[in-house]
Structure formats: structure tokens, C-alpha cells
Amino acid sequence: MTLLQTLPRSASTSAMHRTAADAMVAAGPQVWDDMTVEVALSVMTAARTGHLVVCDQDGRYTDLVTRARLTAVRNGSAYTDRVRLRDIADVDGPFTSPLTTVAEAEHAMRHRRLAALPVVDEEGNTLGVLATGQWSE
């Protein structure tokens, strides 16, 4: 996993002082890494969300998967109905600290073209998610 550490770019004054903890929304559905891609897509559809937070057996954050990523895996030539989320995990998947400023997080998300960025504490627990455009005031 990659903790995003960036320098703030120009942003509104309120965004420069607000932290990820101030701006995050509920993480949404959290699933275990042994779930199959097909079941994860079903959960995503039922929850009407575009992403799922993936956790290990201890409940710690390991990845964030999107509908686009799961669909691409399912449509791939190597796909079988036994492919699990841990099999496609982005082990260096980005996340941020609750102390990161909104300006830093926004810059990192734009730079890496992320639609969502998990906010994870020092023990690996997912506290919430930042989504593009949610902190506009």
C-alpha cells in the first residue's frame, strides 16, 4: 500500500486547512479479500456504489476496487468464476492519512486520476473515503 505524501497546490483556504478526516464520507460497503469478483460486482450493484473497500481477515484495509476495474477483470481472457479480490489486489494501492489536508488529497487524486481515495488510520482501519468533488464549497 502507498500512503500518499504530497505537497499542497493552490486550493481554497478552507481546503488547505481541512483534513481528510474532516472531508471524508462513510467508506461504504467493506468486503473481504476472499470474495469473488462476481459476488463483489453483485454487492456493488445492490449497494448502488462505484467502489468497494477490500479488507483482509483482520478487517484491515488492503485495496479499493471500482466497478470499472472489476468489469475489466471479468471481461479478461484469464477470468474464471474463482478469481477472488485478493488475486487482483493492488498491493501498492493508494490511501491517505486522516491528517492529510484536503488540498494535498485533492492534488494527489487529480495527479493519479483517482475517483476515490480511502482514509486509513495507523492500524490499517478504513475510516472513510474521499471522492472527487465532494469537498467543493
Number of domains within the chain: 1
Residue 43 lies in a domain: yes
Q: Please report whether residue 137 resides in a domain.
A: no
pTM, 2 dp: 0.77
The answer as to whether 136 is a domain residue is no
What angle (nearest 5°) sits at the alpha carbon of residue 93, between those of residues 121 and 6? 70
Mean pLDDT of the chain: 85
Q: What average pLDDT score do residues 14-29 get? A: 83
How far apart (Å, rounded) are the C-alpha atoms in residues 131 and 76? 27
Average pLDDT on 84-102 reads 89
In a domain, 73, yes or no: yes
**CATH classification of the domain holding 38:** 3.10.580.10
Confidence (pLDDT) at 136: 47
Tell me what pLDDT residue 137 has.
42
Reply yes or no on whether the pLDDT at 13 is more than 50: no
Examine residue 116 and state whether it is found in any structural domain, yes or no: yes
Domain that holds residue 67: 2-131
- C-alpha angle 36-42-47 in degrees, rounded to nearest 5: 125
Q: Using 50, 70 and 90 to split pLDDT, how confident is the model at 134?
A: low
